[in-house]
Structure 1
Amino acid sequence: MRRDRISRLADRRRLYTNETYDQARSQLRPDRQPIPTPPTDQLHFETGLWHEIVDSRGDFTAYPFGIRRVRPLADTIELEMESERRANEILRRILPSYEPDGEVHGVPALRIRQRTQKGIEVHQCGRATSAWLTGLPARAWKRIEAETLDTIAELAWRPLWKGPADWSEEELTYEQRWNTGEWARTFRAGAWCSSGLLRRIANFHTITPVDYVSGYKGLGIRGYDGLRPVRWCLELDHRRSVHYRQQQLVDALTNPELGLPVTRAHHLDPIYPPHETKNWIRLDDEGRTGLIELRFTTITYTSLRPDSKKTQPLHQEMAETIRARVEAVLAC
């Protein structure tokens, strides 16, 4: 690629990842997508990570979902945590444990492969998978894992990630019971969407001036066959007087070079009144295997909080970070 094209592409990739310019540029190759789609096992692994990351967030974070930066590489992904608190929430959520009634919590067969000064690498037994959790010193990761072990012990659960280097009997049983069948096939068919959102997570703070992003995996809706598609509902909350940048986010997510293979889906579920969906945008693929539902909302709250009664006062440093990144987007 020509040098000026590489420079422009590196700058554009940074909007999706929040990497440094040098980090983004180092990953560009003439024979590779600017944001590569990983191999199948890695794709499914990242889908599980995305699901747990979205479900694990219930409070304000300085960056959407608590991830400051993502580095999507050809066969692994690096997620830079914004804080020890958020790292604790995510690691506790993804590490597998066994509840005596037969429930397996976390990502089945996930194990910690490496503990280094860079961070920790997790993977799934017997599969070509990898994810690095970074952003904290080694001692912090050690402390978080110890705290997770204490929590599991208090619940009288068993920490499966400290067990065999292969799938445990409990994980195999759980996988066979819950992760097979029609829904599992639907979830795997939409893995490109889940992994793709994780690999482009910085879009939700570099493109649009949101204070707070939350989400969940929605149920199937009218207009699609069977259980399809996997539907990711993402709530993008703005302070009053801050204008949405809907089209800019849609343009980024649908960009033919760095975005996902989605376009606007103009059908809406008729069970919702029109006034509730006027600021909803749905994006899906031609095969209707994945659906992104962007819900832009304005919320009146003080100190950047949607509900001050249920949570502790927002840390001043976090509030300043949120304001600074919102102002940076608005200044563009």
Structure 2
Amino acid sequence: MRRDRISRLADRRRLYTNETYDQARSQLNPGQPPIPAPPGEQRNFEAELFYRLLYSHHFTQYPFGIRRVRPGTDSITLEVESEQRAEEILNRILPAQEPDGEVHGIPAVRVRRRTQNGIEVHQCGRRTSAWLTGLPAYVWKRVEAACLDTLADIAWRPLWKGPAEWTDEEALSEQHWNTGEWMRHFQDGAWSGSGLLRRLAVLHTVVPADAVTGYKGLPIRGYDGMGPVRWCLDLCHRTGIRYRKEELVDALTDAEFGLPVAIARHLDRIYPQHTMKNWVRLDDQARTGLIELRFCTFNYPELRVGTAGAKDRAIAEGIQARVDIALASD
């Protein structure tokens, strides 16, 4: 590729990933999309990771506590912003078993490698990989130990400390919950969850929101059968801050860097535009993935830099700084 084109692609990719210029440039490969789509097992794994990341009980400086992402062809790196968020993430993805037999987390996920830069998690027997970085090695070790302490306190069994293969309990849980029509439905739309995870930074580089929360929603009217996998994202701004809806939609629908989605105009007859003023729904032509962007205004007392408590002050200041950067592009 010509030097000027490489530079343009690297700069544009940073909008979606928040990588450094050198990081973004190193991931560009001739003949490949600037943000590649992963193969099937990795795509499904990333969609499951995205589902688990959506839930957070704390304010974070970056949406869902991820400072930047580095999507590769067959792996993804997530730079976690804090020790607290790292512990929350591991508690949600590493499998553990209740005394009554119920399994929580993602079945068969194990920590495969530990380096000075972070840890790699994967799913046994499948071509999957996700690196969790952003904290020193000793902190990741401490986070793992904290997860084990949490499980010990509630008498749960840490399956992720077991063999590097599926346990009987995980196989039974997978068979019970993750097969059949529901799993086919989720995997048909897994490209949307994986695609959002690989472009997570647009939720703070493009949008000046104080907080972004989300969940996987139930089906809605306007589709046949179970409809698409529905990702609901709430983007909350403080008073007086412009939403930048059009800019976010442009980024997510960009032909080169975005996802294969467009505004779901076919839903207008069911949900008139005047009733959905601050909501935007994007779906694909095959109707397998639906992204619901819901913009709102709310002033969180905890995020006022001048009045935030000691616990929230650093987060409030960090949020204000990134909002100012996003607004500087206006």
1:267, distance to aligned residue in structure 2 (A): 4.2
The normalised TM-score by structure 2 is 0.95
Q: Unpaired segments of 5 or more residues in structure 2?
A: none
C-alpha distance 155-126 of structure 1, shift in aligned 2 (>3 A): same
Does the 8 Å CA contact 1:118/1:137 hold for their aligned counterparts?
yes
Does the 8 Å CA contact 1:283/1:293 hold for their aligned counterparts?
yes
Instruction: Decide which moves more: 235-244 or 261-270.
Output: 261-270
Aligned to 1:331: 328
Query: Aligned partners of 2:272, 2:246: CA distance in 1, in Å?
Result: 23
Residues 64-97 of structure 1: per-residue CA shift (max 9 Å, x gap): 0000010001111000001111111101111100
C-alpha distance 146-295 of structure 1, shift in aligned 2 (>3 A): same
1:183, distance to aligned residue in structure 2 (A): 1.1
Does the 8 Å CA contact 1:303/1:314 hold for their aligned counterparts?
no
Query: Aligned partners of 2:268, 2:147: CA distance in 1, in Å?
Result: 41
Query: Aligned partners of 1:152, 1:320: CA distance in 2, in Å?
Result: 33
SS of the residue 1:236 aligns to: strand
Aligned to 1:155: 154
In structure 2, what residue type is equivalent to 1:33? P
What is the correspondence of 1:97-108 to structure 2 with a 5 Å cutoff?
97-108=96-107
Aligned to 1:120: 119
1:100, distance to aligned residue in structure 2 (A): 2.5
The aligned length equals 327
Query: Among residues 305, 314, 320, which one is paired with 1:317 in the alignment?
Result: 314
Query: Aligned partners of 2:216, 2:178: CA distance in 1, in Å?
Result: 16
SS of the residue 2:182 aligns to: helix
Q: CA RMSD in A?
A: 1.8
SS of the residue 1:315 aligns to: helix
1:49, distance to aligned residue in structure 2 (A): 0.6
Aligned to 2:206: 207
In structure 1, what residue type is equivalent to 2:164? A
In structure 1, what residue type is equivalent to 2:77? E
1:330, distance to aligned residue in structure 2 (A): 0.9
SS of the residue 1:71 aligns to: strand
1:107, distance to aligned residue in structure 2 (A): 0.7
The normalised TM-score by structure 1 is 0.95
Aligned to 2:26: 26
Aligned to 1:164: 163
Aligned to 1:39: 39
Residues 98-141 of structure 1: per-residue CA shift (max 9 Å, x gap): 11223211111000001110100000000111100001111111
1:25, distance to aligned residue in structure 2 (A): 0.6
1:47, distance to aligned residue in structure 2 (A): 0.9
Residues 8-65 of structure 1: per-residue CA shift (max 9 Å, x gap): 110000000000000001111111110011111101111111111112x122100000
Does the 8 Å CA contact 2:222/2:270 hold for their aligned counterparts?
no
Query: Aligned partners of 2:52, 2:268: CA distance in 1, in Å?
Result: 26
SS of the residue 1:35 aligns to: coil
In structure 2, what residue type is equivalent to 1:4? D
1:269, distance to aligned residue in structure 2 (A): 8.5
C-alpha distance 331-94 of structure 1, shift in aligned 2 (>3 A): same
Identity %: 66
In structure 2, what residue type is equivalent to 1:265? A
C-alpha distance 229-269 of structure 1, shift in aligned 2 (>3 A): farther
Aligned to 1:142: 141
